[in-house]
A and B are shown apart, each in its own frame.
Chain A
Amino acid sequence: MIKKEMIAMLLAGGQGSRLGVLTSDVAKPAVAFGGKYRIIDFPLSNCINSGIDTVGVLTQYQPLRLNTHIGIGIPWDLDRNNGGVTVLPPYERSNNSEWYTGTANAIYQNLRYMENYNPEYVLILSGDHIYKMDYEVMLDFHKENKADVTIATMPVPMEEAGRFGIVIADENKKIQDFEEKPEKPRSNLASMGIYIFSWNVLKDALIELKDQKKCDFGKHIIPYCFENEKRLFAYEFNGYWKDVGTLGSYWEANMELVDLIPEFNLYEEYWKIYTKCDTIEPQYIAPEASVERCIIGEASEIYGAVIHSVIGPNVHIGRGTIIRDSIIMKDTDIGDNVTIEKAIIAENCKIGDGVVLGFGDEAPNVLNEDVYSFGLVTIGENSTIPSNVRVGKNTAISGETSREAGDYPDGLLAGGGAIIKAGDRK
């Protein structure tokens, strides 16, 4: 009988609607990060670096990119005879087929997968955070406290605690109470959405709450365990942890990598981050180019100026072009004499010559002012922007745009505008 001490279940089905056009055709965990990586690389690498070799990845929303990225898990050494990575999509049954309706419901629907490995502990992860964490240390903490459930938490500034799910623990870290986005927080320990369950406790709770609609860990499973007087503990994590749920925080987290010695350091030998990379060739910086305070991916060819930006692999940047404070993902082609300021440009886009992105003043976005703010220009994957047009701040573009189609009256997309011609949310 196969027996694994701990297996991980990675929730990667999320739509990530607050990332706007970046996630119109891909699941949020498959969005590129830091030049060559994708968000899911971080929890997957954490797993293998923590000695967890059995990971179930639960997918639902737009899984193609995610599936091709994970494959059989070779980049993370998760191609195992016994265990390894398994992609777990929702499936049809003879009666009562349903999508994954909530985080815990998704795990419940894969009880059989977990039972195959006879785990003692199950680690629940989500695929949308950037951090390096040794889950084995958390497991030791779980065992030491003879806990039933351990919740990873991190201290946040008291004034920001109101934005998080807050855990109140005693001096032994035993959890006394929970507060969801409290107005007057009684503690500053925020839940990170990472849990270790003792297997029998998780299984009982999942079966007990199987008819709960939209069964969710934070809303149902954890309160259920708490009410049934299980031993819940808060594990305190003090490293770098970033939720990249909004365009603003996604942009910020990328820009932090450019710092002289970034708080989140990809260059340490210890705790490497792995990813599937299709390009291994070196990048070329032309004689007329200038690059400063930036990171640039493999096989990119730079003929212009790049300042304080994150450039992915296989990007071409033309002559006389200036790129500042921006994120450019792989396979994108940027023409000559382009000016780009504070933009996020997704994979495989074409930006014509003489384009100006991010000019003028901020204005509230016409589609969704909460999503497209922070003064960013956001361009979805496979988009085309014709030559010599100007695009203002807080804008969103996706799909093939052209002047002939009337997308840019007077060669202009004013601040707060949007052109959505591709993707699910057309």
Chain B
Amino acid sequence: MKAVGIILAGGNNNRMGGLSRKRAIPAMPIGGSFRCIDFALSNMSNSHVQTVAVLTQYNARSLNEHLSSSKWWDFGRKQGGMYLFTPTMTAENSDWFRGTADAMCQNIDFLKKRHEPYVIISSGDCVYKMDYNDLLDFHIAKKADITIACKDMPADADVSRFGVIRMNEDSRITEFEEKPLVAQSNTISAGVYVIRRRQLIEILEKTAEENRFDFVTDVLIRYRNIKKICGYKLKSYWSNIASVDDYYRTNMDFLKSDLRDHFFRQEPKIYSRVDDLPPAKYNAGSKVSGSLVSSGCIINSQVENSVLFKKVFVGKNCVIKNSIILNDVYIGDNTHVENCIVESHGTLKANTYYSGENKILVVSEKNDRYLL
């Protein structure tokens, strides 16, 4: 692979409700046993990108814990591997990362020291599977300066919170509008870019001189007329985690067998940190249907159309319905949970009732836990 990887894992979004209070979006648990960043990292690894830089800033404790070893994604290498960059104070600079372009610019030495001719930039808050080699081949064939992976959304989708793209018949991007009030098309940027390494260094340095910091508005949109920016259509599943609804829907999507086939069965696989949990256990009285259950779970009663992450305990006579239960949640006896997202490490007391009416309820309960 002739490219070095960068994963932008800064992420916070005020539409995540309380969910991003605990962790950055790239560390959000997805699909039962993964974290959001696993998808971008596994794509990098499966595309044989040798060296990846992960740029983090917001509330990175949980993310750093997840990335504490790079061996799970096969990045535990002598040559290359995974680099984690957080904002640091230096003699010249004491700022935080002021935007995505600034984050890369503050770590420009990393880019300068590499020898690969291209850079693949991916955001860490998208769920997708992609062979970056295809993207790079497209980029080279089109003789583009920058290539953006993009995705056609369904006609009825609300695209007003994405970067909306219009391209001509030669795939060149003619219009790029960030979070438009009235969208001109339903093709959106998937947050994955390819660019020549030297070109990126040049642009980043110039942008920094002008005191501009954002890669989308200050680079892609400003340069779209003077550089050749092309769009590469991603055909398979892509989802961005930016709000509670996105998060709920993306996890529920894994209950569909074609999506599980795409992510869980077809090679190459998605990797994640392994945490040595025993297999899931179903005791007498368990009644599970249409649900995903992860390792370490112990179930004693009814679970329906739900996603249970790792190490969830469901007590007797409970009803869990249309809900997402995050890692290490303990649910006491006779509890009803419906249309909820239960925050990780939570403890729901026995005989309680949680139900989201009209919208998804985020439950974050910190009660004392009495274990058996």
Contact = CB atoms under 8 A, between A and B. Distances in A.
Interface string B282-301: 11111111111111101000
A261 B278 CA distance: 14
Interface string A264-289: 00110000111101001111111111
Contacts of B257: 284, 301
A311 B264 CA distance: 18
Contact of A285 (B279, B283, B291, B309): B291
Interface residues of B, number: 40
A280 B289 contact: no
A35 interface: yes
B278 A266 contact: yes
A304 interface: no
Contacts of A267: 278, 281, 296, 298
Nearest to B288: A285
B279 A296 contact: yes
A280 B279 contact: no
A282 B289 contact: no
A2 B48 CA distance: 38
A411 to B, nearest CB: 32
B288 A298 contact: no
Contacts of B372: 261
Interface in A21-38: 34-36
A283 B280 contact: yes
Contacts of B280: 283, 295-297
A260 interface: yes
A114 B279 CA distance: 36
Nearest to B76: A74
Nearest to A308: B284
A361 interface: no
A222 B305 CA distance: 60
A54 to B, nearest CB: 21
A115 interface: no
A285 B290 contact: yes
Interface string A285-314: 111111111111111010000100001110
Contacts of A34: 278-279
A41 to B, nearest CB: 10
Interface residues of A, number: 40
A123 B340 CA distance: 52
A288 B290 CA distance: 8
Interface in B283-341: 283-296, 298, 305, 307-309
Contacts of A284: 255, 257, 260, 291-293
Contact of B279 (A272, A286, A289, A295): A295
B281 A292 contact: no
A260 B288 contact: no
A282 B278 contact: no
A36 B290 contact: no
A415 B67 CA distance: 54
Given A285-B288, A293-B284, A298-B33, A36 B279 contact: yes
A260 B260 CA distance: 31
B31 interface: yes
B264 A297 contact: no
Nearest to A278: B269
Interface of A is mostly: loop
A292 B303 CA distance: 12
B274 A288 contact: no
Interface in A231-277: 258, 260-261, 266-267, 272-275, 277
Contacts of B283: 260, 292-293
A272 B275 CA distance: 10
B32 interface: yes
A313 B33 CA distance: 14
A294 B293 CA distance: 13
Given A281-B264, A298-B33, A289 B296 contact: no
A282 B33 contact: yes
Given A266-B278, A285-B293, A298-B295, A292 B272 contact: no
Interface string A303-340: 00010000111000000000000000000000000000
B346 to A, nearest CB: 18
Interface string A199-239: 00000000000000000000000000000000000000000
A383 B260 CA distance: 26
Interface in A90-149: none
Point out which of B279, B280, B294, B298 has the most chain A C-beta atoms below 10 A from its C-beta: B279
B282 A281 contact: no
Given A286-B290, A299-B264, A260 B284 contact: yes
Contact of A291 (B274, B278, B288, B298): B288
B227 interface: no
B279 A282 contact: no
Nearest to B311: A267
Interface string B240-264: 0000000000000011010010011
Contacts of A266: 278-279
A281 B296 contact: no
Point out which of B34, B284, B288, B292 has the most chain A C-beta atoms below 10 A from its C-beta: B288
Contact of B287 (A281, A283, A290): A290
B287 to A, nearest CB: 7
A244 B270 CA distance: 35
A274 B264 CA distance: 22
Given A281-B33, A294-B282, 11 more contacts: A36-B278, A36-B295, A272-B276, A274-B276, A281-B263, A282-B294, A286-B290, A287-B305, A293-B284, A294-B281, A295-B278
21 contacts: A35-B278, A36-B278, A36-B279, A74-B71, A260-B283, A260-B284, A267-B281, A281-B33, A281-B264, A282-B32, A282-B293, A282-B294, A284-B291, A284-B293, A285-B289, A285-B291, A290-B287, A292-B285, A295-B279, A295-B282, A296-B282
The 7 A-B pairs with the shortest beta carbon distances in the complex, nearest first, are A282-B32, A266-B278, A35-B279, A287-B290, A282-B294, A281-B264, A282-B292
